Chains A and B, each alone.
Chain A
Amino acid sequence: AQTVTQSQPEMSVQEAETVTLSCTYDTSESDYYLFWYKQPPSRQMILVIRQEAYKQQNATENRFSVNFQKAAKSFSLKISDSQLGDAAMYFCAYRNAYSNTGKLIFGQGTTLQVKP
């Protein structure tokens, strides 16, 4: 069975600084998708970034980028130039690429605090 682990329950960063959130996963599949979701206090789940395992290039979306290390089964999220609006809980999620359903396996979440 696949598992996703986020070992940092809480992180904090100074506004305008850079922070990295960690995520590791375990799977025997060779192809899969990885996602980072943001959950602000409103509870809405917002997709931040996605990575396809067969792609070696790390995904980037504006200030958000990932460090995808397939052999190490690691998928960290880097937030550059942190803003107050980045304060939220962040979830790492895994999806089997061979499945037609979009079932996700989530990590435990990391709460990010941004200090002004």
Chain B
Amino acid sequence: NAGVTQTPKFQVLKTGQSMTLQCAQDMNHNSMYWYRQDPGMGLRLIYYSASEGTTDKGEVPNGYNVSRLNKREFSLRLESAAPSQTSVYFCASSPWGTAPTEAFFGQGTRLTVV
């Protein structure tokens, strides 16, 4: 009963380093999302993938890239990390369609860029 699984849970990077956050869901959802959570700002959408093969920018996409590897997996890449990218990152998924279904979230990744 895994739901949405993110790896890693914690990461420290030096400025300029790159890394990829991995996300997988086992609920057969079409749509997947990456959010970042910062104090006083709630969760903000970075990128999303409405369905396999498509990706779109969210509210704060600068400095990030994403890949929808298949229906289950959606990764987030930081090519050259900056201290402003210090945040908690959440992957989420939801079914496709207009029904009022909620999004299901992973456990989050706390990323610190020094």
Q: Are B48 and A100 in contact (CB under 8 A)?
A: no
Q: State how many residues of chain A have any CB contact under 8 Å with chain B.
A: 27
- With A43-B88, A43-B108 as given contacts, are A109 and B42 in contact (CB-CB < 8 Å)? yes
Q: Are B108 and A101 in contact (CB under 8 A)?
A: no
Is B25 an interface residue, CB under 8 A from the partner?
Answer: no
Q: Are A45 and B41 in contact (CB under 8 A)?
A: no
Min Cβ gap B12→A in Å is 17
- With A100-B50, A101-B31, A103-B48 as given contacts, are A9 and B40 in contact (CB-CB < 8 Å)? yes
- A76-112 contacts to B (CB < 8 Å): 91, 95, 97-109
- Among A98, A102, A103, contact of B95 (Cβ-Cβ < 8 Å): A102
B16-24, B62-70, B75-83, B99-107: which one contacts chain A? B99-107
A107 (CB) vs chain B CBs: closest residue: B42
Query: How far, in angstroms, from A100 to B88 measured CA to CA in the complex?
Result: 26
- Among A9, A45, A50, A102, contact of B31 (Cβ-Cβ < 8 Å): A102
List residues of B whose CB falls within 8 A of some A CB.
31, 33, 35, 40-45, 48, 50, 58, 88, 90, 92, 94-98, 100-103, 105, 107-108, 110
